[in-house]
Structure 1
């Protein structure tokens, strides 16, 4: 592979951007925080990226120790990409970047793509400090689950939670978008009846009592 481009600056921020500063790289990290993904799945959930650019970014990320690639056993027999521990440590960076970018969201534009699990990161921020629990989220666009306070492994995933979640959150698109824009907090949305909370876990009870 060609040598990695570098800012050639003796600065930790510049060194970090040498690895993740290219277009699409951080969004690939966002997708792989959900767990192993096939190339076709990544391409489907990154609308706008070309196949050549996606393949190039994945090769760069594997070379730099941010991702690995492995072949699934039969009957799957497909290759999947996984984030490494080092790549996973980008989660707080994405959280901070998402918080900083809340003011840029505005109303959804007609050209904006959306996937239900893209709301996972702002909801994880809203649930910080609630212990280690699994939360299932139901939106009009689909459902996904979060692993709040997870120390290892995927922090979210598509579809229902494996096993019984500590809480189930149901909300409409307008409420979820308002939470993502930082216009309201989750406890306030629950109190106002805009988020329905079910479940018997400690987190569900805490949200209902907030």
Structure 2
């Protein structure tokens, strides 16, 4: 099936042009997931609860057509197709960060219908970190890792860090939620004993010293 014809606001404005590409429902959330690096379609569908298979497939085709993502086949023994962001797609990270910061006051209390994934806390924590490095995070919902200061590559991933991280953070979901809402800084949480920090180097030192 070929990509649908692109809809446009037909306005000579960079905001309108940007929304022509990423303004459809689900597109920016797909970008959020692909900031973790190459993802299989089934993994994307699992981590985007509520999206239909038809809509997800359509959005991915649109993103390929618009140069935001590519699809490739993994070599054996994987032999699965994965989607990943292009350099143009990766440039949406600061857009998502700004949108996430703007949306902090809207979080409020978690609703009974709200899904949650551990790695959805990755972008709020990235905003709270200073300096480059690999950060491993442990929550009740699971572990994930961050690449603070990453350029031209994944900015986070599920599970423990693939190599020795610069710092490990252990915290509960309530603390991480407070940080995501902007009610608490990561440094304050460390100072209050709500985050366990282990590691050596600049990132760990910055958190300990505040």
Structure 2: where are the runs of 5+ without partners? none
Runs ≥4 residues deviating over 3 A: none
Q: Offset of 1:29 from its aligned partner? A: 0.2
Which residue in the other structure is 2:10 paired with? 8
| Structure 2 counterpart SS, 1:114 | coil
| Structure 2 counterpart SS, 1:70 | strand
Which residue in the other structure is 1:157 paired with? 157
Mapping of residues 108-187 of structure 1, within 5 Å? 108-127=110-129, 130-187=130-187
Give, in whole Å, the separation in 2 of the partners of 1:24 and 1:191.
37
Summarize deviations over 1:92-143 as a string: whole Å, max 9, x none. Answer: 000000000000000111110000000000000011xx22200000001001
Give, in whole Å, the separation in 2 of the partners of 1:111 and 1:157.
25
If the length of structure 2 is used for normalisation, what is the TM-score? Answer: 0.98
Give, in whole Å, the separation in 2 of the partners of 1:163 and 1:27.
27
Give, in whole Å, the separation in 2 of the partners of 1:57 and 1:5.
13
C-alpha RMSD over aligned residues: 0.7
Which residue in the other structure is 1:194 paired with? 194
Summarize deviations over 1:141-191 as a string: whole Å, max 9, x none. Answer: 001000000112100000011211110011001000000000010100000
Q: Offset of 1:201 from its aligned partner? A: 2.1
If the length of structure 1 is used for normalisation, what is the TM-score? Answer: 0.98
Give, in whole Å, the separation in 2 of the partners of 1:134 and 1:203.
9
Q: Offset of 1:200 from its aligned partner? A: 1.3
Structure 1: where are the runs of 5+ without partners? none
